[in-house]
Amino acid sequence: MTEPYDLITMGRIGVDIYPLQTGVSLAQVETFGKFLGGSATNVAVAAARLGRRSAVISRTGNDPFGDYLHQALRDFGVDDRWVTPVDAYPTPVTFCEIFPPDDFPLYFYRRPKAPDLVIHPEELDRDAIAAARIFWITGTGLCEEPSRTATLAALEARAKSGPTVFDLDWRPMFWGGEGGASGDGGASGAAAMAAARPHYEAALRYATVAVGNVDEAEVATGLRDPAACARALLDMGVELAVIKQGPKGVLAVHRDGRTAEVPPTPVEVVNGLGAGDSFGGSLCHGLLAGWDLEPMMRYANAAGALVASRLACSSAMPTADEVEAFLAER
């Protein structure tokens, strides 16, 4: 490696199978589209679309869907050298239903085990992780071994040598729960959060940036008020806490006392599933550019809104020209 990557992400990869009809259940859908998916992967794609040199650490099955994911990563300009095959498990697929503007159920097919949870610590390129301008990990990577140990080993190798982002990325079904958080997850949701919290706390000790919505922040902090969540995350070791609040916009709080609270960017929503990943890639873009909090949050909001107005996730990630034109119209 001759120069550091702008961004290395580590985590989930798979094939998104999205219906080409909206407003109907999977039982009635007749045609589907196939797309590169997985939150950490989509963040790398989003950054690459903005001109950043990005790579993904993940694993696929040793099958045609795995071949497709490698080709898709290359087509998007994302380095796939650390995406390796696992013979024992198939490449995961994820189906969704599309009921705009705010109902997009996901159906994950990741059993008996997803290959991206079979990342081993000894496989990591620790030098590249330490040298990357930004390193990004997710909560899902902590849900099972050996990915959990590998994720923490990567964070330890990173040692806060630059911006280190923890995407709180709460998926209760990967932790034996259901629902979103304590408010709507019932007993299993609370139990899943209790199982996850110690691992979130361990990862936060190595992170400089935490980003997530209120449900995800609750997993880490036990709190639901956005401002209180941000303060708690700062107390847990990060320098910047970014709390996404849906229709209330986004709150960003820095350890140095700077804050920004930015309203959402209104669009006609087609599929909201990729918006958070587009936000994440744009957040990295802004961090790399050294932007102040408010313009960075406005840009990330706009990038997320553009993806929400489109059907797919990875292939919907906007270019810098598209984001700037979109912002100029507002």
Q: What is the pLDDT of residues 267-286, one digit of tens each?
A: 999 998 899 999 999 999 99
Q: Percent of the chain at pLDDT above 90?
A: 88
Q: Does residue 305 have a pLDDT over 70?
A: yes
CA gap 196, 220 in Å, rounded: 8
Q: Which domains does the chain have, with CATH numbers?
A: 7-14+39-93+110-329 (3.40.1190.20)
HSE (side-chain half, CA atoms, 13 Å) at 315: 13
The answer to whether 327 and 58 are in contact (CB under 8 A) is: no
Residue listed under structure tokens 């979109």: 326
Mean per-residue pLDDT of the chain: 94
Structure tokens at 11: 């985590």
Q: According to DSSP H, which parts of the chain are helical?
A: 39-49, 64-75, 126-131, 147-158, 186-204, 214-221, 226-235, 275-289, 293-308, 320-328
Torsion of CA 26, 28, 34, 38, to 10 degrees: -10
pLDDT of residue 204: 98
More confident residue, 102 or 32: 32
CA gap 221, 242 in Å, rounded: 13
Q: What is the pLDDT of residues 214-244, one digit of tens each?
A: 999 999 999 999 999 999 999 999 999 999 9
More confident residue, 116 or 101: 116
Q: What is the pLDDT of residues 124-134, one digit of tens each?
A: 999 999 999 99
Q: Does residue 55 have a pLDDT over 90?
A: yes
The model's pTM: 0.96
**Average confidence (pLDDT) over 251-278:** 94
Q: What is the pLDDT of residues 142-199, one digit of tens each?
A: 999 999 999 999 999 999 999 999 999 999 989 988 765 555 555 677 888 999 999 9
pLDDT of residue 1: 52
The answer to whether 167 and 212 are in contact (CB under 8 A) is: yes
